[in-house]
Structure 1
Amino acid sequence: MKVLFIARNYPPHVGGAERLNYNLAQNLGKFVDVKVIPNRFGKYSPLFHVYSIFKIMLNRDKVDIVFLSDAYLSPIIPVIKKIVKKPVVIKVHGLDITVPNKIYQFFIPKFVNMADNVVCISRATREECIKRGISPDKCKVILIGIDKEHQKTYTHSKKADGKQLNIANKHVLLSVGRLVKRKGINWFVENVIPKLVEKDKNFVYIIAGDGPYRKIIENIISNKGLERYVKLLGKVSDEDLELLYNIADIFIMPNIPVDGDMEGFGIVILEASSHGIPVIASNLEGIKDAVVNEKTGVLVEPLDPDMFAKEILKMLESVRENRKIKKKIRQMVLDKYNWNKISQKYYSTFALLTKKTNGGFLYESRDSGGEY
């Protein structure tokens, strides 16, 4: 089976979607012949749509199926269906279907619905697709994968050095991500950190990432005198991030609901969990599919500072008492979100459309909201 993968977000560009598409292409290559058409234009440039159509036309006789990386690319589906006449599968993340723009919402869901299959990376994303008129029968939930092979071991990092951060012998809470409203980090610093300080001063909350809410967070830290307890690092290198994952006791993802902006999944949760870090996160949107509640972490209702503080203190006690908890979490995550299994599910979706199995595996869709 030959698949043409049109990837709007792809290395050398950096980001969660870029890592997802790269890992997916690499692992799909074990089951099908994948040719990637990466974006060499701006992230939102319409030139990539034109370029993609050109590349699809050139390869029309060499491919069995066209796979689009996200809903932003859906306007090219009518061309593929009418001129190239190949089956189309499109992957939807969340933000690419919930953009709060009337013109966007009028056209994009209609284009997405023209695809033969719509792969949603979480149940929450599937729900958003169906709300917008996309056929439930087309929407399949296939979660994101993680590989243990992506991890590396580093022994030193200037930015994350323990002495420099003054975190020796302290419990480490960690958040990683772009500092935007939906991530809820400013809310967490303002409402939860002071409650933790009242109960246990032997901790530090490290935030790795940058974005428009950085200044807001800096002001909260300063106004509340939390400099000893909150360390805002900004963007960090892969080496620094690996070190942070290795020293963290709990990973925090305190997202809050924001109209038109959603967390499609939460790749950083899988990255943290694959290092054995227990997660405490908001019971919200696609995050619910990234945490195995009460096993790899705990889901807390968003905007509940008392419950966040309670669960963090409880988790810190569990980590102190049970040193094997990290090993269990790591193994469970690598088993459940194994890229090999995830790729086979994509393969099954393609095979059912093209009627080509090549001796591979076919997964039947279950009744759990279209999830494979």
Structure 2
Amino acid sequence: MSVLLLSTTNNVKNGWGNITHEYCSFLNGKVEFRLLLPKNEPRYSYASYDIDYILPEFAPSIGKINIFEYLGFQYKVRESIIHTLVEFPYAWLGARLATRYRTPLIINALGTYAIRPLLKWPDKYFAEWAYNTAKIITAPSIFTKDSILKFSKTKTPIRVINEGVNFARFQKEIDMPELRNLYKDRKVLITVGGLKPRKGQDLVIRALAILKKHRNDFHYCIIGKGGFEEYLRNIVHEENLESNVTFLGELDGDRLVKYFQLCDIYVHTPRLIDWNFEGFGIVYLEASACGKPIVATNSGGIRNAVIDGKTGIIVPENDIDRIAQAIEKLLDDQSLRSNLGQNGREYARKNDWSRIGQKFLNLYSEVS
């Protein structure tokens, strides 16, 4: 058995890239595979697997790609299975290769770009054709699966397989006395993710402004970068929260693990905006792997990443008052924080890449 993988990136700071790198690392030594990435993708030294940088540049819509470059793309498929680790438009490219070389195709439909192409023409035509060409589609959440079925006519079976987490990465002890001293009198909350409207960091800031009226025992660290930062900083200023909120920018490696281990509560309150949504939310499992309780909103595929009442508290989307109440409940109840965190650690362990990856290997056996 050999597998041809297609993806947009293996940059571990990116959601797609994190999935791609961790999955390729899992596959190493188990099956023969080759990863195809865009020709303009940066080269990362941590990649210890075979990569060809030959794919056309990524764009989220047919109208934005170089259609002649996509139509003219050539690759002689010698592998026995094609597996696109992301959806549109590389699923369409994978489907063309699968058709040409009569090779079974598996499509990972992760989130936003599994659905948005189905909402407009001509993207809908290309996305549905790719889905119908596949032997199996995988989705990381029931929400993503149901949304594909809602907006497409595909008869291809869709299997729900959660995203995986590198559990061991978050278990190693990291010395961080300077960080603990910095926040020693306050409970620490963090959010990790791009600074964009659908991630919902503004909802957390508004919720903390409610709490600031009667308490001042918390500090919120925002980890990530993006075009939403100026807007978020303006809210912090308006709500007089400068002493309670820190923008840390993008962190990776042990620096990121430090903050996951440091925090008392992981709070991440996304919203669905024009079918931009969280298909799963790997950061929730990363927080759970560190034994941290979670506050999340009922948005997209979150319920596959957070178990309400067991690993965290899920509140209605966009409900600032309920977010504030959930945060306060955890701030005031150390026992609840501990119980949710312990349950979360076990849930993350069950979603380690060693288990999630095996589910994909089983699919390879099924279609080959």
Task: Give the TM-score category using the shorter length.
Answer: 0.7 to 0.9
In 2: Cα distance, 1:334 partner to 1:316 partner: 25
Which segment is superposed worse, 30-39 or 317-326?
A: 317-326
CA contact 2:13–2:252 (8 Å) conserved in 1: no
| 1:368 aligned residue | none
In 1: Cα distance, 2:199 partner to 2:24 partner: 28
Per-residue CA distance 1:62-94 (angstroms, 9 max, x = gap): x21111122221222443233211101111111
Check if 1:182 corresponds to 2:167. Answer: no
- Deviation of 1:325 after TM superposition, in Å, equals 5.4
Query: Is the alpha carbon distance of 1:10 and 1:320 closer, same or farther for their aligned partners in structure 2, counting shifts above 3 Å?
Result: same
- Deviation of 1:218 after TM superposition, in Å, equals 0.5
Check if 1:155 corresponds to 2:155. Answer: no
TM value normalised by structure 2: 0.85
In 2: Cα distance, 1:41 partner to 1:4 partner: 19
SS at match of 1:113: helix
- Deviation of 1:311 after TM superposition, in Å, equals 1.6
CA contact 2:82–2:94 (8 Å) conserved in 1: no
| 1:94 aligned residue | 111
| 2:267 aligned residue | 252
In 2: Cα distance, 1:218 partner to 1:2 partner: 49
CA contact 1:172–1:249 (8 Å) conserved in 2: yes
SS at match of 1:251: strand
| 2:296 aligned residue | 281
Query: Is the alpha carbon distance of 1:38 and 1:178 closer, same or farther for their aligned partners in structure 2, counting shifts above 3 Å?
Result: same
Query: Is the alpha carbon distance of 1:44 and 1:137 closer, same or farther for their aligned partners in structure 2, counting shifts above 3 Å?
Result: closer
Query: Is the alpha carbon distance of 1:325 and 1:111 closer, same or farther for their aligned partners in structure 2, counting shifts above 3 Å?
Result: closer
**Which one has more relative contact order, counting CA pairs under 8 Å at least 6 apart?**
1
Check if 1:309 corresponds to 2:311. Answer: no
In 2: Cα distance, 1:52 partner to 1:241 partner: 41
- Deviation of 1:328 after TM superposition, in Å, equals 4.2
| 1:204 aligned residue | 219
| 1:359 aligned residue | none
In 2: Cα distance, 1:66 partner to 1:289 partner: 26
SS at match of 1:79: helix
SS at match of 2:159: strand
Which segment is superposed worse, 316-325 or 299-308?
A: 316-325
What does 1:259-338 align with in structure 2 at a 5 Å threshold? 259-319=274-334, 323=338, 326-335=341-350, 337-338=351-352
| 2:124 aligned residue | 105
| 1:366 aligned residue | none
Query: Is the alpha carbon distance of 1:236 and 1:27 closer, same or farther for their aligned partners in structure 2, counting shifts above 3 Å?
Result: closer
Query: Is the alpha carbon distance of 1:94 and 1:18 closer, same or farther for their aligned partners in structure 2, counting shifts above 3 Å?
Result: same
CA contact 1:31–1:344 (8 Å) conserved in 2: no
Work out which of the residue numbers 224, 227, 230 in structure 1 matches 2:245. Answer: 230
CA contact 1:177–1:209 (8 Å) conserved in 2: yes
- Deviation of 1:135 after TM superposition, in Å, equals 2.5
Query: Is the alpha carbon distance of 1:130 and 1:8 closer, same or farther for their aligned partners in structure 2, counting shifts above 3 Å?
Result: same
Per-residue CA distance 1:41-69 (angstroms, 9 max, x = gap): 255166897599533x1x42xx2111112
| 1:18 aligned residue | 17
Per-residue CA distance 1:330-365 (angstroms, 9 max, x = gap): 133212x122221121112121111xxxxxxxxxxx
- Deviation of 1:326 after TM superposition, in Å, equals 3.5
Which amino acid is the alignment partner of residue 92 of structure 1? A
What does 1:33-48 align with in structure 2 at a 5 Å threshold? 33-41=32-40, 44=58
Which amino acid is the alignment partner of residue 355 of structure 2? K
CA contact 2:198–2:276 (8 Å) conserved in 1: yes
- Deviation of 1:18 after TM superposition, in Å, equals 0.7
SS at match of 1:34: strand
TM value normalised by structure 1: 0.84
- Deviation of 1:148 after TM superposition, in Å, equals 2.3
- Deviation of 1:239 after TM superposition, in Å, equals 3.0
Query: Is the alpha carbon distance of 1:47 and 1:14 closer, same or farther for their aligned partners in structure 2, counting shifts above 3 Å?
Result: farther
SS at match of 1:135: coil
For structure 2, the 5+ residue unaligned runs are: 42-56, 60-64
In 2: Cα distance, 1:23 partner to 1:4 partner: 16
In 2: Cα distance, 1:297 partner to 1:137 partner: 33
Query: Is the alpha carbon distance of 1:283 and 1:156 closer, same or farther for their aligned partners in structure 2, counting shifts above 3 Å?
Result: same
SS at match of 1:285: coil
Query: Is the alpha carbon distance of 1:86 and 1:280 closer, same or farther for their aligned partners in structure 2, counting shifts above 3 Å?
Result: same
Which segment is superposed worse, 149-158 or 245-254?
A: 149-158
In 2: Cα distance, 1:85 partner to 1:123 partner: 30
Per-residue CA distance 1:290-311 (angstroms, 9 max, x = gap): 0022111111111222221222
What does 1:350-369 align with in structure 2 at a 5 Å threshold? 350-354=364-368
- Deviation of 1:210 after TM superposition, in Å, equals 1.1
| 1:364 aligned residue | none
- Deviation of 1:267 after TM superposition, in Å, equals 1.0
In 1: Cα distance, 2:151 partner to 2:359 partner: 25
- Deviation of 1:8 after TM superposition, in Å, equals 2.1
SS at match of 1:54: coil
CA contact 2:115–2:151 (8 Å) conserved in 1: no
State percent identity of aligned pairs: 23
CA contact 2:137–2:157 (8 Å) conserved in 1: yes
In 2: Cα distance, 1:222 partner to 1:315 partner: 25
In 2: Cα distance, 1:327 partner to 1:153 partner: 17
CA contact 2:180–2:262 (8 Å) conserved in 1: no
CA contact 1:113–1:135 (8 Å) conserved in 2: yes
CA contact 1:66–1:89 (8 Å) conserved in 2: yes
| 2:7 aligned residue | 7
In 1: Cα distance, 2:301 partner to 2:311 partner: 15
For structure 1, the 5+ residue unaligned runs are: 355-372
In 2: Cα distance, 1:97 partner to 1:323 partner: 36
In 1: Cα distance, 2:337 partner to 2:106 partner: 45
Check if 1:138 corresponds to 2:157. Answer: yes
